Amino acid sequence: MICIRSINALRLHIADEKRKSKAIGFVPTMGALHEGHISLIKQAKAENALCIASIFVNPLQFNNAEDFKKYPIQQEKDIQLMEQAGCDVLFIPSVEEFYPSPPKLSIDIGALDRILEGTHRPGHFSGVAIVVSKLFNVVSPDKAYFGQKDLQQVAVINQLVRELNFPIEIIACPIVREQNGLAMSSRNMRLSNAGKTVASNLFAALSLIKQSISKGERSTSTLVTVGGNYLNTFKEIEIEYLEVVNGDTLESITEIKGVSKVAVCIAAHIEGVRLIDNLVIIL
Ligand code: PAF
């Protein structure tokens, strides 16, 4: 694996690889790698001649300064993990080169920014859209891989690629979970062991909702009550939102009717750490 830290050096390297007609699979990350990231690298490597990954903690997508400050950084370990997972080229740009001055551009995502994470994290998706566009311009991959834990992010990136005509195929990869159901996340590193055990109840609540749907419950407010009542038995869990939405558009629905899939989405705080999870249910 080679590690490249400047945009020009990466562009030169990629131009060379493209002359050999190598298909490029790209995995953008913010580091603090876990099994979820590793599964993306492995899939990108299996499906392309060249796997390129990036590590860049994008300041633009943090709507909360404290959250940015606390984001776990473990660059040496991440470089090793990338290499072991089979990454060929690792791009680690500096904030100074990537944003020589604060970008004046902002990207209005439209309706997707007025639901779920968009409502709760103003400016977040604009920041994601800008950094992903910049990375796509520099890397020009054939395929790019994203985890479905960030379900709405995948929808935002699909929209970005569609509307800005990026010639890139977006591959959404399944959520990787701990044995107890906790979705893998870099933020889990900030939880105590007890916190991680409590956090596994987020998935338990999503699964309870899934069970109720399979038993025939169709009112989304009743389903949210089922999950909410369960989670409220844990005093350590503070729910930010819990919603059952249209699985295709992520728009709010009051009743499960006339849709082919639903997504149960949650954001909650445990030990001061904000966690998200979701379960997509095909009907
Ligand atoms: O999902 C993430 O880790 C980030 O949002 C991404 C896509 C790397 C952009 O900074």
pLDDT, one tens digit per residue, over 253-274 is 999 999 999 999 999 999 999 9
CA distance 41 to 50: 11
What average pLDDT does the segment 54-68 reach?
95
Span 2-173 CATH architecture: 3-Layer(aba) Sandwich (3.40)
Cα–Cα dist 206/210, whole Å: 6
Minimal-distance CA residue to ligand 1 atom 1: 29
Question: How many residues are present in the chain?
Answer: 283
| Nearest CA owner, ligand 1 atom 9 | 128
Per-residue pLDDT, 199:
98
At 187 the pLDDT is 97
Is the separation of the CB atoms in 247 and 223 below 8 Å? no
**Scanning the structure block, which residue is given the tokens 């025939």?**
216
In this structure, whether the domain defined by 186-282 belongs to CATH 3.40.50.970 is answered with: no
**Ligand 1 neighbours by CB, cut-off 6 Å:** 28-30, 58, 61, 128, 131-132, 150, 153
Q: Does the pTM exceed 0.75?
A: yes
Ligand 1 centroid–CA 273 distance in Å is 18
Q: Where are the domains of the chain?
A: 2-173, 186-282
Which residues make beta-bridge pairs with 275? Answer: 268
Active site residues: 37
CATH fold match for the domains 2-173 and 186-282: no
Which of 29, 130, 156, 186 to mutate to test ligand 1, by most ligand atoms within 8 A of the CB atom? 29
Closest CA to ligand 1's atom 5: 128
